[in-house]
Amino acid sequence: MGKIIFWLVVFFVVLLMLRLVNVASSRSRSRSTGKRKTVEAAMTRCVDCGIYLPSADATTSARGPLCGDPQCVARRSDT
Ligand SMILES: [Zn+2]
Distance 79 CA to ligand 1 centre (A): 14
Distance 1 CA to ligand 1 centre (A): 77
Distance from C-alpha of 42 to C-alpha of 24, rounded to nearest angstrom: 28
Q: Each residue of 24-35: pLDDT tens digit?
A: 888 877 766 666
Distance 35 CA to ligand 1 centre (A): 26
pLDDT of residue 47: 94
Q: Each residue of 5-24: pLDDT tens digit?
A: 899 999 999 999 999 998 88
- The helix/strand count (H/E) of the chain reads as 2, 4
51: nearest Cα among 32, 36, 31, 71 = 71
pLDDT of residue 24: 85
Whole-model pTM: value is 0.45
pLDDT of residue 50: 93
Distance 22 CA to ligand 1 centre (A): 45
pLDDT of residue 27: 80
